[in-house]
Amino acid sequence: MGSMMQSTSHPPSQNTSRDTTSSETPGTASSTIRSMTGYGQAEGAVGAVRVHVEVRTVNHRFFSPSIKLPTSFAKWEAEVREAMRQRVSRGHVTLSTRIERAAAASAAIDEVRFAAVVAELRGLHIRHGLDGTVDLNAVLRMPDVITTPRDDDDTGTAAELVTVVQDALARLDAARADEGARLAAVLLARTQLVADAVQRIATRAPERLVAQRDRLRASVRELADGVAVDEQRLAQEIAIQADKLDISEEIDRFHSHLAAFRATIAASDAEPVGKRLGFLLQELLREANTTGSKAADAAILQDVIAIKEELERIREQVENLE
């Protein structure tokens, strides 16, 4: 009997998980993580005009640019798109550009056209015997007397426009990095809640196996109703049930995925992390589902539910990361 109990309780394998309070304490969030939501703007000279550029980004699975340029700048859209692609790997990016001219240069009177209109109106007065003089306002309202600069009159180069675009993208990048650092801190805090629940499950698992073993023994003896029980066969059945309920591998994988999740957040390189974190979340959810299916214990199931809730909250935040 003693040897059978030793072979079925599995306390050593269930209790090999690490203590999250010592080896998995959240670290400081890396500033290289970027949110997919942000805003940046910049101004600069392009030829004879001053240009204002605004860039906004929102969530998107891929790089999805939307570029709005004045007519005179449309020929440089490819250069602008490449500058955006170098700065943003994922997200819907909207870039808009407007030309700002000085008030004095915003409109001008075409004196040649003005003189021609005055002469034409005076001729009409004479030919038709009209009284009065030519009205200035009437002249100014005639077509093409007052001219405004057109977009296609602007000068400049693609390099000048791209410089302004890059300034706006740099400000966008800084805003996304600030938001990313805030999201990273939230993710680390929620990841710690998951780790705490996993540790509770790891602590409860051996106790749960002993309780299940004792419950099975009691049930068999009750059903036997005094009839001799084959202890060897009973020990084999208990061993089979214990193996089905064993979640030591799930606990180990939980810790491995959580460590990878935190390492990804803390990485010092500037590579986008959103997709990798999303993959790790899928793996964590898989372990939670498997653990729940093996639980057969109210306390463990409660922690599994808590883990799933936290993973869903984490997923919502990860979707905001580049």
Give the whole-angstrom CA distance, residue 246 versus residue 244: 6
pLDDT digits (tens, 9 = 90+) for 217-265: 666 666 666 666 666 766 666 666 666 778 888 999 999 999 999 999 9
H or E element in which residue 41 lies: strand 38-46
User: How many C-beta atoms surround the C-beta of residue 109 within 10 A?
Assistant: 12
Average pLDDT, the chain: 81
Share of the chain above pLDDT 70, in %: 75
Rounded Cα gap, residues 100 and 95, in angstroms = 16
- Report yes or no: 49 and 99 within 8 Å, Cβ to Cβ: yes
Return the bridge partners of 98, or none: 52
Domains of the chain, earliest start first = 2-32+177-318 (1.20.1410), 38-102+155-174 (3.30.230), 108-147 (no CATH)
pLDDT tens digits, one per residue of 23-65: 344 444 444 788 999 999 999 999 888 999 999 999 988 899 9
pLDDT in tens, 96-106: 999 886 554 55
Mean pLDDT of 122-141: 82
pLDDT at 122: 84
Asked if the model's pLDDT at residue 15 lies above 80, the reply is no
pTM for the whole structure: 0.65
Q: Which residue has the tokens 């407007």?
A: 98
